[in-house]
Amino acid sequence: MKRTTGTDRSITRNWRPATQAVRAGTWRSEMGETSEAMFLSSGYSYDDAATPAARFAGDQAGMTYSRLQNPTVAMLEERIAVMEGAEACRTQASGMAAMTAALLCQLSAGDHVVAARAAFGSCRWLVDELLPRFGIEGTTIDSTDNAAWEAAIRPNTKVFFFETPANPTLDIVDLAHVCGLARSHGITTVVDNAFCTPVMQRPMEFGADVIAYSATKLMDGQGRVLAGAVCGTEEFINDKLLPFQRNTGPNLSPFNAWVVLKGLETLELRARRQCDNALKIGRFMEGRVPVIKHPGLASHPRHDMAMRQMTMPGCIFSFVLDGGRQQAHALLDQLQLIDISNNIGDARSLMCHPASTTHHSVGAEKRAEMGVDEGMLRFNVGLEDADDLIEDLDRALAAIGL
Ligand SMILES: *Cc1c(COP(=O)(O)O)cnc(C)c1O
């Protein structure tokens, strides 16, 4: 394998995001291929017995087994690390595998976690159901309340865990404040950056320690594969994450890594277009529906903060209808162009009713506490022409009397 300029951090860290997304992390084989090679190999062979001995001892760089490292996966990990401004990155089979690894690799019985109460349903399940089984207690708070973070800290608090913007309430966490508070108490922040990706928000610039991803979302961006990633310091990745990952095996397949590499090439372009569409459609929806939650609209309670933290306004928004679940389902059933689907970040426009899908399993009581209203719909705005999407919504809203 030959190095390209993409493998030199002293060069790649100065590139702008669109360049990093196409070039960073690229190695070339002897064939000189332009597109990254896909290494579908679980194992590796050696010229002599001393070579694997040196590699297993850590004295020589090189491949040994694809649960430990794989060239295609390594290219993706380097690209994500550079884009995120992190020292290191490792990928996992899904976003939830990434969240689970990021938490379990550093927590032990007797530790305490403070987490945002408004979160992706499975992220809440980790804090509410999984961690307590291993003696790790969690406190969930209103993540938009800066004082609540401080009040929840205990002597054994090890981790702050949150999303910003949150799925599906679009709550914005004050990154600089919350990450600064954590640092001053020796607490590690784990930020789920799935709604943004590094082309829209780089939480490490605000003091975040660990960034965990669903790369299924905007990074693949075309609804093809599940993927996850965890970014952090070399120390965190090597000493905490890698021992956990290498021995438990939530690894990303080389094929899926390759698909995400192809997705990253167009990430910045797609994100711009999808955000432009989302703002245009958000403005159309304001006044047409009772409540709309989009960080890019002045009506969002933390609009100014969101625009300081994010470099683009986001392509996902939620809105609430007065008629509850029945009216929300009725609107979905009127859509012709926009799909009823619970994925996000996709090039296709997708709408879902979180209370009956992504947040079904958290239960009615927690949904009410999180602000996931029965009449809420979450809209992933895709790459289609915004005017076609507006016409679909206009017609569907009129059909249910709005
Ligand atoms: C989708 C999502 C996840 C889970 O990712 P998967 O790739 O589906 O496992 C976690 N957090 C947030 C905010 C998400 O939107």
Q: Tell me the per-residue pLDDT of 233-244, one tens digit each, with 9 for 90 and over.
A: 999 999 999 999
pLDDT at 112: 98
Query: pLDDT band for position 119 (50/70/90)?
Result: very high
Ligand 1 contact, 94 CB (< 6 A) = yes
Provide the mean pLDDT of the chain: 97
CATH number of 268-399: 3.90.1150.10
For residues 192-208, one letter each, b for 16 or more C-beta atoms within 10 angstroms of the residue's C-beta and e for the rest, the string is bbbbbbbbbbbbbebbb
Region 305-310: mean pLDDT is: 98
Domain residue ranges of the chain, discontinuous segments joined by +: 2-265, 268-399
pLDDT at 122: 93
Q: Which atom of ligand 1 is nearest to the CA of 99?
A: 10
| Percent of the chain scoring above 70 in pLDDT | 100
Domain at 2-265: CATH architecture: 3-Layer(aba) Sandwich (3.40)
Q: What's the gap in Å between 131 CA and the centre of ligand 1? A: 18
Q: What's the gap in Å between 106 CA and the centre of ligand 1? A: 20
CA 224, CA 263: separation in Å to the nearest integer? 10
Phi–psi pair at 68, nearest 5 degrees: -95, -45
Alpha helices (H) in 202-241, listed in sequence order:
234-235
Ligand 1 contact, 95 CB (< 6 A) = yes
Question: Taking the mean position of all CA atoms in its chain, how far away is CA 266?
Answer: 17
pLDDT at 197: 96
Amino acid at 164: T
Q: What's the gap in Å between 95 CA and the centre of ligand 1? A: 5
| Percent of the chain scoring above 90 in pLDDT | 99
**What is the tens place of the pLDDT at every residue in 139-178?**
999 999 999 999 999 999 999 999 999 999 999 999 999 9
Ligand 1 contact, 189 CB (< 6 A) = no
**Closest alpha carbon to 329 in 394, 288, 376, 388:** 376
> Ligand 1, atom 15: nearest CA belongs to which residue?
194
pLDDT at 363: 93
Ligand 1 contact, 25 CB (< 6 A) = no
> Ligand 1, atom 6: nearest CA belongs to which residue?
95
pLDDT at 177: 98
Count of H-run helices and E-run strands, the chain: 17, 14
pLDDT at 324: 97
Region 34-40: mean pLDDT is: 97
Distances in whole angstroms, Cα of residue 140 to Cα of each of 59, 208, 214: 44, 19, 21
Q: What's the gap in Å between 168 CA and the centre of ligand 1? A: 11
Structure tokens at 56: 């297993």
Ligand 1 pocket: which of 92, 94, 96, 358 to mutate (most atoms <8 Å of CB)? 96
Q: What's the gap in Å between 287 CA and the centre of ligand 1? A: 30
Q: What's the gap in Å between 5 CA and the centre of ligand 1? A: 32
Ligand 1 contact, 91 CB (< 6 A) = no
pLDDT at 368: 94
Does this model's pTM top 0.95? My answer is yes
Q: What's the gap in Å between 194 CA and the centre of ligand 1? A: 7
**What is the tens place of the pLDDT at every residue in 321-366?**
999 999 999 999 999 999 999 999 999 999 999 999 999 998 999 9
pLDDT at 287: 87
pLDDT at 391: 98
pLDDT at 218: 97
Q: Which atom of ligand 1 is nearest to the CA of 98?
A: 9
Ligand 1 contact, 93 CB (< 6 A) = no
CA 141, CA 5: separation in Å to the nearest integer? 45
**Closest alpha carbon to 182 in 149, 219, 141, 229:** 149
Ligand 1 contact, 256 CB (< 6 A) = no
**Closest alpha carbon to 300 in 308, 291, 309:** 291
CA 230, CA 236: separation in Å to the nearest integer? 10
